[in-house]
Amino acid sequence: IRVKNLPLVYSLLPNKNQETYEELFTIVKQHIERKPKYLTIDFEKAAENAFGVIYPQWDILGCFFHFKQCIWRNICELHLKKEFLENDISRRSMKNLAALAFIPPQNVIEEFVRIKENASDVLD
């Protein structure tokens, strides 16, 4: 499969408000000729909402890098970093959480339950 992701816009914004993102996306819309089918963004709810307002016909995808970063941040916040580093079963289970991004939405809960069942007791 030859899929290409190309950065369309980099921007420095004064804040992360939905209105600011709407203004940005409106300006972008005025200057692009091609109409991509998807947008990949990090997990900023305001950006997602604004994009849906300006481009309701496009699909929004979450950035896999930021998804994995979010999982790692939660591992650290839950004081599971040592468990991740020292326990192979726990590490595999935590890494498998990122794989949920590639599961069809209707199967995510079932796969999450499977990951949890195979995890070490410390992850309960």
Q: What is the pLDDT of residue 124?
A: 67
Residue 105, H or E segment: none
Q: What is the pLDDT along the chain (124 residues), one digit of tens a residue?
A: 566 667 777 889 999 999 999 999 999 889 888 777 778 888 889 999 999 999 888 888 888 998 999 999 999 999 999 999 999 988 999 999 999 999 999 999 999 999 988 887 766 6
Gyration radius from the chain CA atoms: 18
d(CA 18, CA 25): 10
Query: What is the identity of the amino acid at 123?
Result: L
Q: What is the value of pTM for the model shown?
A: 0.70
Measured between alpha carbons, how far apart are the two ends of the chain, in Å?
A: 38
